Amino acid sequence: MLRLNASDTGFSEAFSKLVDDRRESDADIARDVATIIADVRARGDAALAEYTARFDRFEPQTEADWCIGADVCRQAYDALTPDLRAALELAAQRIRAYHAAQLPENRDYTDEAGVRLGAVWRGVDCAGLYVPGGRAAYPSSLLMNAIPAKVAGVERLVIATPTPDGAINPLVLAAAHLAGVDEIWRIGGAQAIAALAYGTDRIRPVDVITGPGNAWVAEAKRQLYGVVGIDMVAGPSEILVIADARNDPVWIAADLLSQAEHDPAAQSILITDDAAFADAVIAAVEAELVLLPKVQIARESWDKYGTVIVVDTLADAPALANRIAAEHVEIATDDPEVLFAQIRHAGSIFLGRMTPEAVGDYVAGPNHVLPTGRRARFSSGLSVLDFMKRTSFIAVGDAALGAIGPAAIELANAEGLTAHARSIEVRLGI
């Protein structure tokens, strides 16, 4: 892992290198994804079947091999232990309540010129949700994607999820039942994104695609943006913890590893104003690592990308945090509000010592699908707005057109768009 001290010569250069490091897809992935997309667009289901056999070691033949029915999802839900069912239901209820409060209001008013103006919000007709399989099969992500779509009023909700070696994650199916998913297709990777975007004989196309995935999935979403809407191009997970020495080092170590266990390319960063505390956290990370079932993943992430930064004062932390623009930012101090007010760029911020990032992944309510790779500088986490679009409307009467029409004629003529001007002139009798 990397250790930096803000007072050292060369810190600025080293920190800039940290900020500029891209842990995402390369040109080879982009080329391979473009080939897969073109193939699926040309050959449809036949291409999907070949890629599924090749990458997931599963050959879809019957309809049951291609999709998972609502009855199977219901059975998975019914088979949950009472405690797990209650946990899933609590998460769903809190996610639904938080996102329902995000619904935008329609506008309809008449201004001083007598022009009626406004806008109406409507959900898209259909959304496709990508749910990873294998190492990253997370029912929590399904809830975080499906529930906002349902709250937004999406009529058809489609899931694409790989089933490596034919294995189906029953907890994912239970979450799909709870969220009211309409279709589940057993396909994954860039080929699934292409199928959702363009459609095949079996799969009708969607309007928006959301959900996490590996580098190939993220690259496919990037290439297909414009054919469909997407939530974001997401890279590996990341967490930044700002902590003083009054914290328990084990707590902070556990928080750092909560992201490191996601992916070998995930990044965990600590900023503290106490060098001895930094040492204690590093030691705690080493002790905690060996306890993790995913020790190899977390170890690679920590060794390659883990970073500890010692600053003179935590007052310096927000400026560094804003340059990093991390997916998750924890502020573990006595008065987190002071630093919170100065952090402009973060996917989600967790305030206080008793607010680990992990609570946001499951049951807090706000969405855990968040911008990575410094994209928090210009984008936000998933919300109901990702599944909605706004349509403005205008209604102009005789008097109102007389009030504002001449200015429109003047501007149209200035731009050389005579027909534009004429369409107003004929109504005004000019």
Give catalytic residues, as residue numbers: 327-328
Burial pattern 213-239, b for ≥16 Cβ within 10 A else e, equals bbbbbbbbbbbbeebbbbbbbbbbbbb
Q: Under a CB-based contact definition with an 8 Å cutoff, are residues 189 and 106 in contact?
A: no
Interior CA angle at 130 toward 170 and 80, to 5°? 15
Nearest-5° angle of CA 349, CA 354, CA 356?
Answer: 50
Q: What distances in angstroms separate CA 4 from CA 180, 253, 309, one per listed residue?
A: 48, 17, 5
Which residues are CB-neighbours of 389 under 8 A, at least 6 positions away? 121, 122, 124
SS3 412: helix
State the Cα–Cα distance between residues 154 and 138, nearest whole angstrom.
22
Return the half-sphere exposure (C-beta side, CA atoms, 13 A cut-off) of residue 232: 24
Residues paired with 225 in a beta bridge = 228
The first and second tokens of residue 89, run together, are: 């239901």
User: 10 Å Cβ neighbour count for 365?
Assistant: 16
Coarse DSSP helix, strand, coil percentages of the chain, rounded to the nearest 5 percent: 50, 15, 35
Which stretches of 124-264 are DSSP H helices? 139-152, 170-179, 189-198, 215-224, 249-260
Q: Tell me the longest C-alpha to C-alpha distance in the chain.
A: 84
